[in-house]
Amino acid sequence: MSGKCFTVLVTGANGQLGQELTLWNAGDAAEADAALNIVGFGRDTLDITIFGDCRRVFAQHRPDAVIHCAAYTAVDRAESEPDEAYRINAAGTRNVAVAAREIGAKLTYVSTDYVFDGSGTRPYSEYDRPNPQTVYGKSKLAGEQLVQTLHERYFIVRTSWLYGRHGNNFVKTMLKLGSERERLKVVHDQVGSPTSTLDLARFLLELVRTDYYGIYHASNAGSCSWYEFAKAIFEESGLKVQVDPCTTGQIPRPAPRPAYSVMDRMAIRVNGLTDLPHWREALRQYVRMEKECRS
């Protein structure tokens, strides 16, 4: 890649991961990468459900790679809006895949732990059979299948429990509630791997500059329950909050949540790529950065 700037086009640039990627080189010098040119498009400038939009934008910028973050992510609402979920996550992904293929760009599709049923007892590998139980999970799996069918040079990257500096997420919600209340209930019977958008963005930008195509699981190392994650958030932030465990059944939701969604990162190891750090370390860095921003 020496001597040539590598251009990455990001869809869904207004989402929490999309913003992390788009603002990558606007950060501190340690994160800036002069060999990278990152251009981001939100829904206002690129509607992925309109094929002509995808074709026009991709042809205009001719990126080396597309990181497709745009998605319908309202897990509960998807149960009553299946057509909308599939319109964005399946048909929209088809449009992105075809438009990327036409200009010769690599394609990275960001997927989810919801493609699994959550009944496992060991970390899911990239080659375990998906069995989504929600409309959201089924629509994201449909996107995976369309990428595999319509593009030859693709990376499918499944992640879980995302949080970061941009947008709404569990960590921000806990910090807000923790500043308002002395006691909270959080479910303890759902186990997964919290993932920092900063660490995921760093991984994606390394991955797209390789030719190691295929399916990847990319979450921070280690696992915990939402209850354990909430306790860690308050410990790292110094907030004195009593966290009580409760069951999923005590907080019913329209869409079932996976009881176990820990993913094994075998493809990262096999291909010699940089693994993501432990979730507690990532959380500590996030809380430190938030404090620095407020000071």
- HSE on the CB side for 133, CA within 13 Å? 13
Q: Please give the positions annotated as active site.
A: 136
If you average pLDDT over every residue of the chain, what do you get?
94
Provide the 10 A C-beta neighbour count for residue 38. 21
For the residues 225-250, what does the mean pLDDT come to?
A: 95
Q: Is the pLDDT of residue 72 over 60?
A: yes
User: Environment class of residue 279 by beta-carbon count within 10 Å: exposed (0-12), middle (13-18) or buried (19+)?
Assistant: buried
Which structural domains are found in the chain, ordered by start?
6-169+194-221+257-277 (3.40.50.720)
Q: Is the pLDDT of residue 1 over 60?
A: no
SS3 274: coil
Give me the amino acid identity at 106: K
- pLDDT category at 212 given cuts 50, 70, 90 is very high
pLDDT tens digit sequence for 138-152:
999 999 999 999 999
Tokens 């060999």, residue? 35
